[in-house]
Amino acid sequence: MIKSLIITHGNLGHELIQVAEKILEQKLDIQAIAFDWQGDGSDMIAQLEKFIAANKGNKIVIFTDMFGGSPSNIASRFINKNVEVVTGINLPGLLKFFCCEGKSSKFKETVKTVEQGAIEGINIISEYLGEKND
């Protein structure tokens, strides 16, 4: 079982989850944590520790909004064989996770698929259409 968490600046994570749930028409098993702009991150660390402890025995993927940002930097401290962090999560990446998650029993494979989905979701439309028409 892969458990998931999304940590972002502000309410970006909550909003992403809401939109994904609307599209997939189902409640998603994912929790969001909003980075407190005024805080020093200790609150987020405590929430992360709590989440990881509560999901002991499961694989955990933590999605963050931007590589190098505080949510990513803090989440990175928790990486081990059971915990992975995917930065720059977007709607395609999140949808990919909830569409493929149950199909792959391999943790690393699932995480890689999410990364690819997120990257492939970014296109300059005119270039994309140009390539298709070449």
Binders of other proteins among residues 1 to 30 (CB under 8 A) are: 22-25
> Could you say which DSSP state residue 105 is in?
-
Encoded tokens for 83: 């915990």
Taking CB under 8 A as the binding criterion, the range among 27-35, 70-78, 80-88, 113-121 that sits at the site for other proteins is 113-121
- Total site size for other proteins, rule CB under 8 A: 12
Q: Is 132 in the site for other proteins (CB under 8 A)?
A: yes
Burial class of residue 13 (count of CB atoms within 10 Å of its CB; 0-12, 13-18, 19+) = buried
With respect to other proteins, which residue has the nearer C-beta, 24 or 54?
A: 24
Q: Which of 55, 95, 110, 111 binds other proteins (CB under 8 A)?
A: 95
What would the two tokens of residue 109 be? 């494979």
Extended beta strands in 1-134, E state: 2-9, 30-35, 59-64, 83-86
Q: Name which of 80 and 133 has its Cβ closer to other proteins.
A: 133
Helix and strand counts by DSSP (H, E) for the chain:
6, 4
Bridge partners of residue 3, in order along the sequence: 60
Minimum CB distance to other proteins smaller for 71 or for 117: 117
Q: Can you give the binding site for other proteins, defined by CB under 8 A? A: 22-25, 92, 95-96, 99, 117, 120-121, 132
